[in-house]
Structure 1
Amino acid sequence: MIAILMLFLQSVVPPGQTGVRLQAEADRAVYLPGDTIRVELSAYITAPSSADALRTGRGLDNVAAHATEGPVRRLSDGRSQSRDGHAIMDQMVYRYARTVLYAALAPGTVTLGPWQLETEHGPVVATALPLRIADPPSFQASVTRAVLPLRADVFHPGGGIAYRRNGYASVVNGMTLLTSWHLVRGADRIEVTLPSGRTLPVRKGWSAQAEIDAALLYIDAAAVADEQISPLSMAADHTVAPGDWVYAVTGNRISSGWLHVVPDQADSRRWLATNRIRPGDSGSPLLTREGNIVGVVAAGMAGVQHPDVLREDLMLAYDPRPLFEPVMSGASPRSIDDLNQPENLYNRIMDVEMALATRAQGRSSDTGTLLLEQLLLLLEEAESAPIPDAELLHRLGLLAQHAGDRELARQAYLAALNADPQHYGANYLIGLLHVTEQDWSSADTHFTRVASGGPFRHLATYGMARSAMGLHQFDRAESLLNQVLASDPGFAPALFDLGQVQLAKGNRLGAKQITSALYRLDSYWARRLTRSIEHPEFGPSALSELPRLTLDDL
């Protein structure tokens, strides 16, 4: 069960007029039934009279919380605290905080708040927090016994381990293991760890496809029976759709999430979901609510607790059902080495990915020239295909950018967009290239395509905000930055940019309040904004939105 938290902050009266900025923030974006939801209310105050009133009164204890709707129960309120503020130029910014606790009880939709603080200049509001609490999975936690840790080693030519890949493999029936192809491809030794702790070598398999990054391997049926493992089952075709809840099993941990709606991928076997996946979780099964496999986890981007990183959980998985035809037809397993398809473009891309990773870890003497030559050849071959593969071209662009060739990356992204103009990854990454070139209008076009739905929409919204700032569209930039901060209130760069927007609009009090909030997150960004306030030459000028010329004006 998951609760998806969306936090929207706004003030009834602009902060520069009330001298107060009220902010509500939940401790995380994902909740399980029975979890405690912790909401922290913070008031950043620059008006001396408002600060005196809170200091001599009960602080935020008198903040009015409107009726809460939905399957939660209010537990308790923490006492408000006054913390010494920060001196921004000749003015003190005080912060008062208060914690409100709720318990998530049952599936459904819930709204927490809104909260309202009365000031001498009128009310300031931190608006309601709508939560969605999903149904829990119906399968038992015992399914974790069928998900085995996997280790794949590649040896040096002269002996010893060159590198090791760790992940998971699922027992699907009495003798098959389902895992990610990138984990085991080219490995000299593959082992799985059984629930008892015993390791078992894996030397044979039935099939592998680089396009869906999945492999079907052989495991001794007697070992499965001895360990009392209940094999997992494959889901029937077309049992999940974008928006459905899915569950990734990684070791003893079950991560819940929902499938993204990605229009250009709606009919493919490539799923993107919001499950929180960590490094080393590749090969894990993606399950329906009933516990049947619909995908194999290939990659993930777990929310990182760092003020410079926008938290947005994302997981990539592939539907492995095309692999099962040899098993269904009664074919015998063969050596894993025989599963390689050296001329397959996706396999060759995996080779370049591995070479780049080896070079990044200092285990390769290659200067990168040979890798770039290989990437160029792969790109030319991919572009000349009868039906160009947008995802393959996008991956080539990522590799070229990782290898340091921005122009080759641009060529690959443009080729991907030529094959699929709505490809979210290529649109987002070429938008970033336009930002570095200060081509704000082109960047905004590509970010807007991504922000319309699917993964990376919060990152794309931040890109739109930066583009709007470059175009001096400060009202639009402010609205977009507030949307970004609604998804991740701890994202310091967006808060810094919001302070810059306040300065550009002539709202120095608002910028000072934001600086005080930044000191709680990261002193680096707070010092940068303070410098912009104290030294206008380091910050934006107070500007209104610039008029845009049209053909009629010429």
Structure 2
Amino acid sequence: MSRLLCLALSVLALPLAVRWAAPEASAADVAPLALEHADAPAPEAAAREAELFSTLDRRVVRVGETVTLVVELAVALQDETSGVPFIRALTASAPEASEDVALESAGPVVQHWDRGVLQLERRYTLRVLREGDLSVAPLALDLGGRTLETRRQRLRGYAVQPDHAAASVVAIVADGRQGRAPFRRVGSAWLAAPDALVTAYHVVVGAGRVRVQLPSGRIVSVRRVWALDPERDIAVLHIDPRETEGMAALPVAPPEAAGDAVAFTFGWPLANGGDAFERPQVGTAAALYTGIGPDLRTAGNAVRPGDSGGPLLDARGRVLGVVVSGRSTNGEADLLREDVCLAADPVPALRQRPSRPVPLARALRHAARALPAARAFEAATALTGPGHRPADAPRHRALLMDAARAAPQDAALQFLAGSVLEALGEDDEAARIYQGAHEAGYFPAAYALAHHHLETDPIQAERLFREIRASDAYAHLGAMGHARALVALSRWREAEDALAEVLDHEPTYAPALYLLGVVRLARGEDDAALALERRLASAPGWAASLRFLLRNEVLRPTALRPLARVRLAPEVPLGY
């Protein structure tokens, strides 16, 4: 069970961006630089403080399809002529061909000259040649006396996508009331048997009417249910088997199934436009990660409102889990792009199937009375949903805490309670609950707990972020948090390594560029910091913050340097 995780993680991601916000500045002027200077000076000195970035536009790609490698360089120079060797070096460079990828084409070098800083960009189209874990070799820029080199980029190739499974996934809409306010929840569901649709419990909880749209376009009401499993966030709904004729039930993969370590989804995300049943179905492919205990699978698929309840699939179209929550920034400013999907095991709920289905409304009421997870979810919805009333908050908070105390072994429930308390401003109590969930092995709790410690205990935050950074899911979020903690501890070289990891993933991420500029200033590399300030032109608030430090040396962070040794006079007795 991982309810409200998407909301909680979006809130937790904000401290990465908002604490250093600055007033907006005007965009920098740009101008192209010609290649007409035959006798340009050697660039060795400038190259020592140049910033070279690379990234892939996708990390999971079907064999035979293409991926784009983007290489960018920013360097502070005395004049425009000094930039010619850099342009020539990038023009002459290309990724090495390998058994993993082949170079299809190389675009032109795009140039921007901005107040003493040259910025270059070049895009390479690479074709993926095989399945498995693949890599793109570093791209080297030969500058005569010095070589600049990108970091090795990694990706995954897959051969088969389970397109046939898309016809077994349907859109679902649940309408109801929360207090005095009506609500409408949208999600996805999949056919597990001719008379059974599986979706997420949180999609249907509290609903007075539930409808699904079948592949034929027909919209039917769902009034009965086979089983509810609030702890895992699963609902198995009854549907008339005559309505599903022609649809194929999806098989469930055995627990040990990993396939080719690529996972797929088909869902109905609201982010793609349309209202309710008018939205298009959208599929995703991403890396499959290790699970969280026996009940949750994790993957790198994007999860947006409307995807909940859909299947996480392997290449054979077998269900690895039911999508219950996740994280997707979807291009939001100042939020690091890293998609995470959590999918729950549907097997326990499918095994609960009785001889005949029961009314959905009755089953929901019974679950709320009997199961702590159901009570926690209803209380959390009342405290954070659109119909919440401040006057009712103490009662619902008490219900939430009672549910948490009744199920101390349910780490996901504990995390949910902590997320709600944090949203209510009770940070210390939230941290206490996060600690318990973290000790139970629930990795999102470690991320939440690390953010709590960042301002008050950076040593503890550094330890937690290092742990998160070493995982598959949240690796880049963990690296960014780790960099922040390391900067707070003045551990500049380690912070630089963490930021390089973030910027290889998303080289235009403004908070990371700003922090790298802080590191450069701490190490006395003013020209490199200037190049980063110009690179932040599309994020004027961050550029203004870094410019402020560039212009005010007294406010810069300072790297500790060893003091000169003092020789003791021979006559000074030691140890007395």
TM-score normalised by the shorter chain: which range applies?
A: 0.7 to 0.9
What residue in structure 2 maps to residue 63 of structure 1?
92
What residue in structure 1 maps to residue 532 of structure 2?
514
Gaps of 5+ in 1: 1-12, 547-554
Secondary structure in 2 matching 1:455: coil
CA distance in structure 2 between the aligned counterparts of 1:511 and 1:403, rounded to whole angstroms? 39
Secondary structure in 1 matching 2:207: coil
What residue in structure 1 maps to residue 170 of structure 2?
148
Higher relative contact order (CA 8 A, sep 6+): 2
Residues 20, 107 of structure 1: alpha-carbon distance in 2 compared, 3 angstrom cutoff: same
What residue in structure 1 maps to residue 445 of structure 2?
426
Secondary structure in 2 matching 1:127: coil
What residue in structure 2 maps to residue 353 of structure 1?
380
Secondary structure in 2 matching 1:48: coil
Tell whether 2:69 aligns with 1:39. Answer: yes
CA distance in structure 1 between the aligned counterparts of 2:87 and 2:229, rounded to whole angstroms? 64
What residue in structure 2 maps to residue 493 of structure 1?
511
Q: CA deviation at 1:283?
A: 0.8
Q: CA deviation at 1:232?
A: 2.0
Query: What are the superposed Cα offsets for residues 476-532 of structure 1, whole Å, 9 maximum, x if unpaired?
Result: 111111122222223211111111011011111111111122224x12111111111
CA distance in structure 2 between the aligned counterparts of 1:83 and 1:523, rounded to whole angstroms? 17
Tell whether 2:371 aligns with 1:344. Answer: yes
What residue in structure 1 maps to residue 141 of structure 2?
117
Match of 2:332 among 301, 306, 318: 306
Secondary structure in 2 matching 1:356: helix
Q: CA deviation at 1:212?
A: 0.9
Query: What are the superposed Cα offsets for residues 67-104 of structure 1, whole Å, 9 maximum, x if unpaired?
Result: 2212433222222232132x3xxxx1111222222222
Query: What are the superposed Cα offsets for residues 237-258 of structure 1, whole Å, 9 maximum, x if unpaired?
Result: 3242498332222153332233
What residue in structure 1 maps to residue 341 of structure 2?
315
Match of 2:310 among 254, 263, 284: 284
Determine if contact 1:18/1:47 at 8 Å carries over to the other structure.
Answer: no
Secondary structure in 2 matching 1:31: strand
What residue in structure 2 maps to residue 216 of structure 1?
236
CA distance in structure 2 between the aligned counterparts of 1:242 and 1:395, rounded to whole angstroms? 31
CA distance in structure 1 between the aligned counterparts of 2:382 and 2:196, rounded to whole angstroms? 30
CA distance in structure 2 between the aligned counterparts of 1:525 and 1:242, rounded to whole angstroms? 43
Determine if contact 2:47/2:148 at 8 Å carries over to the other structure.
Answer: no
Between the two proteins, what is the percent identity of the paired residues?
25
Tell whether 2:378 aligns with 1:378. Answer: no
Secondary structure in 2 matching 1:64: coil
Q: CA deviation at 1:16?
A: 6.1
Determine if contact 2:261/2:287 at 8 Å carries over to the other structure.
Answer: yes
Q: CA deviation at 1:129?
A: 2.4
Match of 2:252 among 201, 215, 234: 234
Tell whether 2:152 aligns with 1:128. Answer: yes
Query: What are the superposed Cα offsets for residues 426-467 of structure 1, whole Å, 9 maximum, x if unpaired?
Result: 222111111122x11111122223223242222222222212
Q: CA deviation at 1:147?
A: 1.0
CA distance in structure 1 between the aligned counterparts of 2:403 and 2:174, rounded to whole angstroms? 27
Determine if contact 1:242/1:261 at 8 Å carries over to the other structure.
Answer: no
Q: CA deviation at 1:46?
A: 1.7
Match of 1:182 among 193, 202, 218: 202
CA distance in structure 2 between the aligned counterparts of 1:97 and 1:508, rounded to whole angstroms? 22
Moved more, 494-503 or 55-64: 55-64
CA distance in structure 2 between the aligned counterparts of 1:436 and 1:478, rounded to whole angstroms? 20
What residue in structure 2 maps to residue 534 of structure 1?
551
Q: CA deviation at 1:47?
A: 3.0
Determine if contact 1:27/1:37 at 8 Å carries over to the other structure.
Answer: yes
Residues 21, 445 of structure 1: alpha-carbon distance in 2 compared, 3 angstrom cutoff: closer
What residue in structure 2 maps to residue 99 of structure 1?
123
Gaps of 5+ in 2: 1-42, 269-280, 564-576
Counterpart residue type for residue 313 of structure 1: D
Determine if contact 2:372/2:404 at 8 Å carries over to the other structure.
Answer: no
Match of 1:447 among 465, 470, 475: 465
Secondary structure in 2 matching 1:506: coil
Q: CA deviation at 1:319?
A: 0.9
Residues 170, 253 of structure 1: alpha-carbon distance in 2 compared, 3 angstrom cutoff: same
What residue in structure 1 maps to residue 39 of structure 2?
none
Tell whether 2:545 aligns with 1:525. Answer: no
Residues 72, 119 of structure 1: alpha-carbon distance in 2 compared, 3 angstrom cutoff: closer
Determine if contact 2:263/2:288 at 8 Å carries over to the other structure.
Answer: yes
Determine if contact 2:259/2:315 at 8 Å carries over to the other structure.
Answer: no
Determine if contact 2:59/2:286 at 8 Å carries over to the other structure.
Answer: no
Q: Over aligned residue pairs, what C-alpha RMSD do you find?
A: 2.7
CA distance in structure 1 between the aligned counterparts of 2:544 and 2:44, rounded to whole angstroms? 24
Tell whether 2:389 aligns with 1:364. Answer: yes
Residues 24, 57 of structure 1: alpha-carbon distance in 2 compared, 3 angstrom cutoff: closer
Match of 2:428 among 389, 407, 420: 407
Determine if contact 2:44/2:145 at 8 Å carries over to the other structure.
Answer: no
Residues 545, 214 of structure 1: alpha-carbon distance in 2 compared, 3 angstrom cutoff: farther
Counterpart residue type for residue 399 of structure 2: Q
Residues 482, 289 of structure 1: alpha-carbon distance in 2 compared, 3 angstrom cutoff: same
Q: CA deviation at 1:474?
A: 1.0
Match of 1:200 among 202, 220, 223: 220
What residue in structure 1 maps to residue 189 of structure 2?
169
Secondary structure in 2 matching 1:443: helix
TM-score by length of 2: 0.81
Q: Aligned pairs, how many?
A: 506
